[in-house]
Amino acid sequence: MASEIPAAPLFLTQVYQVHSDPANPVSLYTESARTPTPASTDDARPYVTLTFAQSLDAKIAGIGGKQLALSGKESLVMTHWWVNISPTFVCENSCGAFCRKVRMRTMHDAILVGIGTALNDDPQLNTRHLPPFSDDAPHRYHCPRPIILDTHLRLSPDSKLLKNFREGTGRRPWVFSIESSMADPILFHRERILEDAGAKVIKVLGVDGLVSIPSLLETLRSLGVRSLMVEGGARVIQTFLAASERSSELRTFPNCVNMVIVTVAPTLVGNEGVGYGPNLLSEKLPILQHLKTELCGRDVVMALKVVGT
């Protein structure tokens, strides 16, 4: 059981340029004013971290979007050290990148996935894999708000996200759809089912039948979300990276991502795997500045800052 506030990992304090006093370590909880992830000072949108794991051939999922444990077991030891987990704590998942994501989740107000990931993986998007605090500890891990991009409202009312909320072990999921879709009686019925199951359905502007990322971010900021962690899958990654070319048409901010953190695993998936870059136009992609690269077992973790388009 943990009782003290663990200091933020050195990798992240350097990446996010956090200056921590050893006698008063940076907190991992957004209820603290000393959260490592920079809270947005922009009224237009939250601070956005885009993070994902990929193979050497830039694949992030298997056939049909099937989830892949891309990171090797060797990185698990490094990940446990890096996130300052107790040596007696045993992760339930052998994927080092997963453990790293869990710790990063506590540093963001909300965490976003697409409906494809929600259906294929049935994720919980919480911090259950971190070592629990003792009953008398004055702190608790911050649990990020789950955000799902779901134009056609296909999220199951029996999903783990909604079950966790109903059981008091997770926060209410926010499901984002587009305004025009609500004219469909089938979608209207699905909205009622999801809301009865505990979800909050929020409608924003759409672009080409998909949620407008600038409209999404503006809405999230208006609802008090200061920082957002985007986990994917492939279409979501594409949409956020490509949103820069469209954001000026809808909103004033030129970029939709602040930080990109990528874990590269030393493995090849092959042509049947799912990548994230085929539909991206190189002249429209954001300009990335390398900040830091760290070896984590067999994996390499890279942090890149978006500096322009």
pLDDT in tens, 210-225: 999 999 999 999 999 9
CA–CA separation, 58 and 275 (whole Å) = 6
Q: Tell me the average pLDDT across 228-252.
A: 74
Query: Has residue 125 got a pLDDT over 80?
Result: yes
Query: Has residue 70 got a pLDDT over 50?
Result: yes
- Spatial contact of 31 and 307, defined as CB atoms under 8 Å apart: no
**What are the tokens at 245?**
């070319």
CA–CA separation, 175 and 147 (whole Å) = 6
Sign of CA dihedral 94, 85, 139, 3: positive
Highest-confidence segment of 29-43, 45-59, 238-252: 45-59
pLDDT in tens, 14-29: 787 766 566 655 555 4
- pTM for the full predicted model: 0.81
As a whole number of Å, the CA-based R_g of the chain is 19
Q: Tell me the average pLDDT across 191-208.
A: 96
Higher pLDDT, 85 or 148: 148
CA–CA separation, 50 and 41 (whole Å) = 18
Q: Tell me the average pLDDT across 47-66.
A: 84
Highest-confidence segment of 23-37, 52-66, 95-109, 289-303: 289-303
State the pLDDT at residue 20. Answer: 59
**What are the tokens at 110?**
């909300």
Q: Rounded to the nearest 5°, which phi and psi values hold at 235?
A: -65, -40
Sorting pLDDT into bands at 50, 70 and 90, what band is 156?
Answer: very high
State the pLDDT at residue 138. Answer: 54
Query: Has residue 253 got a pLDDT over 80?
Result: no
b/e per residue 201-240 (b: at least 16 CB within 10 A): bebbbbbeeebbbbbbbbbbbeeebbbbbbbbbbbbbbbb
Sorting pLDDT into bands at 50, 70 and 90, what band is 181?
Answer: low
Query: Has residue 203 got a pLDDT over 70?
Result: yes
Higher pLDDT, 193 or 234: 193
pLDDT in tens, 75-100: 333 333 333 333 233 333 333 444 44
User: What single string gives the DSSP state of each residue in the chain?
Assistant: -B-S-PPPPHHHHHHTT---BTTBPPPS-TTSTT-SSPPP--SS--EEEEEEEE-TTSEEE-GGG-----S-THHHHHHHHHTT--TT---SS--HHHHHHHHHHTTSSEEEEEHHHHHHH----S-TTSPPBPTT-S--PPPPEEEEE-TT----TTSHHHHHHHTTSSPPPEEEEEGGGGGSHHHHHHHHHHHHHT-EEEEE-EETTEE-HHHHHHHHHHTT--EEEEEE-HHHHHHHHHTHHHHHHHSS-S-S-SEEEEEE-S----TTSEES-TT--GGGSPEEEEEEEEEETTEEEEEEEEEE-
**What are the tokens at 17?**
């340029």
| Range scoring the smallest mean pLDDT among 76-85, 99-108, 187-196, 203-212 | 76-85
* Residue 105: closest CA among 78, 125, 79, 120: 125
Higher pLDDT, 251 or 234: 234
State the pLDDT at residue 102. Answer: 46
Q: Which domains does the chain have, with CATH numbers?
A: 10-21+38-308 (3.40.430.10)
Higher pLDDT, 245 or 259: 259
List the beta bridge partners of residue 202.
Answer: 176
State the pLDDT at residue 283. Answer: 60
Higher pLDDT, 64 or 227: 227
Query: Has residue 113 got a pLDDT over 90?
Result: yes
